[in-house]
Homo-oligomer: A and B are copies of this chain.
Amino acid sequence: MRIGELAERAGTSTRTLRYYEERGLLSARRNSSGYRDYDEDDARLVREIRALLGIGFDLEETRPFVECLRAGHDAGDECPASVAVYRRKLAELDACIDRMQGIRAHLVAQLDQTERAHAGGERVDRPATPAAAAAAALPDPPEARCALTAGPLAKESR
């Protein structure tokens, strides 16, 4: 199949597929007129990439899965390198969830206090700068690079 069909079937764009090729994640035979030609395996590959991106992996992190599939494995996560990424992601996710829950707790506390200040006697004992105090009270920013934008599928899925 050609790039347009693969893009449609994968719910993405031709630009995206060319980008994956550019990054070395996807490769394509060429037909006589120079058009890219893909097969079912390529489609699976793209679906794997999109799925992993969708759950917060970045492109580089999908590489082991892609290579695992290309090595003939039935699933992208059958190889040690993929499992390692799984584990790393799990750790990141845990750190991220922890951090977010900490922030959430502080936010709830702030809202609580602000509300009481406006309802009750106007003079609740609060720190000078609530946000600063909240941030200070959090365990030191522990490498928790949390990001998970749900990316491109959000646009397509609406």
Chain A residues in the interface with B (C-beta under 8 A): 44, 47-48, 50-52, 54-56, 65, 74-78, 83, 86-87, 89-90, 93-94, 96-97, 99-101, 103-104, 106-108, 110-111, 114, 117, 126, 128-132, 134-136, 138, 140-141, 143-150, 153-154, 157
Contact = CB atoms under 8 A, between A and B. Distances in A.
A54 B111 CA distance: 18
Contacts of A103: 55-56, 93, 148
A107 B86 contact: yes
A21 to B, nearest CB: 20
Nearest to A142: B150
A122 to B, nearest CB: 11
Contact of A147 (B47, B107, B110, B147): B147
A154 B150 contact: no
Contacts of A130: 75-77
State the majority secondary structure of interface residues on A: helix
A104 B100 CA distance: 14
Nearest to A100: B97
Contact of A93 (B76, B104, B135, B140): B104
A50 to B, nearest CB: 8
A55 B101 contact: no
B148 A83 contact: no
Given A54-B135, A130-B75, A146 B149 contact: yes
Given A100-B97, A141-B154, A51 B135 contact: yes
A45 B74 CA distance: 56
